[in-house]
Structure 1
């Protein structure tokens, strides 16, 4: 497995990580035993970066990851996140970045994961009511205390990243990045490269859309949150699907899957970018890993980007109320 550096502080991870969120909720029914097999296979195939968060499954996802790495802690880079607060038995969410909460959340994550140190700790969403300097200052204290090795932000705008980086060096920014989500290329990605911060790209397969395997929203489980995602709803789905058809034709000519082509594009956008495609199925994990074997020329990269241009994509990344939680 190819290795890539995250940031300039010494963290090295596999060129592709594994997003574990869907193993607990959001994408239909889950199976812990199957998920544990997927994580083990990921590790066996050289993946070292496992991504989770305290809000996934209300803590279940961290417990699952902790169980999976119990006997191989030294081979794994654990990344988790804090900041999105979920009320029990409610779909309502809030954001908290107060120093006291940062420390409480970290201790709770350490306990669920069953580890003494979190390798990479992100603020999941920026709390606009708390100065970023205060939040990152508390995260820095966790580093000094040995509870966290490296820190990062998720879904933060360029100005916020700069201010945070002045308090304590950021290793990575985690944000959505794929063929159909490229808005960070305008300001955020150049800022990261100027400061020596790496990008961890979540949803590099467009929440599964860029695999080409979803032919209609009706094919999704009733408890799949994509049913309420604007890009999957109404006429947007059909219009977006037409864009993907041309990508699939290129994949067929290359002898790879549409998913592999989409991941290969992300991997080709820079060695400072590490995608973390999520899956709870062994078949898809192995398919994703094989995208590392796909080599793209500049001509192919330009062709893909001209097919799925940002202005052609229909629908926002999240429903309106969730878009308000983004700091970008």
Structure 2
């Protein structure tokens, strides 16, 4: 009951001047309680390993796929992407992030104080003051064109869409890009490992190299602080708060002392990649500021028409101690 009440703490469910849903640590505390509660309920009454439920009540069912260690919530169409990625040992949702939306207070940032002068009498409230805790550009206010879900794919600039799914024992999706490319994607959970395997092929006879890309959004609790460390092929790349680019990488490790664990990503074949902090603009009593919501990780492989390609991503979620 205590976990249920903590999961209902209202601070993370609203948005306004003093924080709310834009503050990752508030959302994280709620998810922490939800996952503690869910793990206890699963010990009382076991759920099916794979089931469909309309969790967000939009009329379209999501897939819930879980074992005793990890849980994926997948939105089948059009991207077959992971909306929620829970680790029960860490009591953490790796998919806990926000897309950038066009907020009403963005107009005050764009037009400045002159367009929103405080009343001539009295002291301006925190709602009327125009101040900045961090530099904010027009690009920072641009809404995201796609949801911030993990394992979304593109071939060159065209999004891969999935229209068919089969669920014998694990989620398996089929789709592609127009009539040019066929793509299948399968998720598999074994203990604390998630495996995502792709098969990509094109029937076009003319040989041409294109790029197959997959994007992940990973909610790392240390954000851009010193407790987060990024490693590629065993070499330190620094923290999560700066853009990084790498090539021919077979292993990426994301260590997070605040989370109390790490994510170990293996790739076959090796991957070209780039990462960057995913930032949103929030309003606080101290002014407008950018807040890191997640680490965005873009993965890139070369694929060639006229032949089939198999790509494998394996993610191990490790809890320290």
Give the TM-score normalised by the residue count of structure 1.
Answer: 0.26
- Bigger radius of gyration among the two: 2
Give the TM-score normalised by the residue count of structure 2.
Answer: 0.27
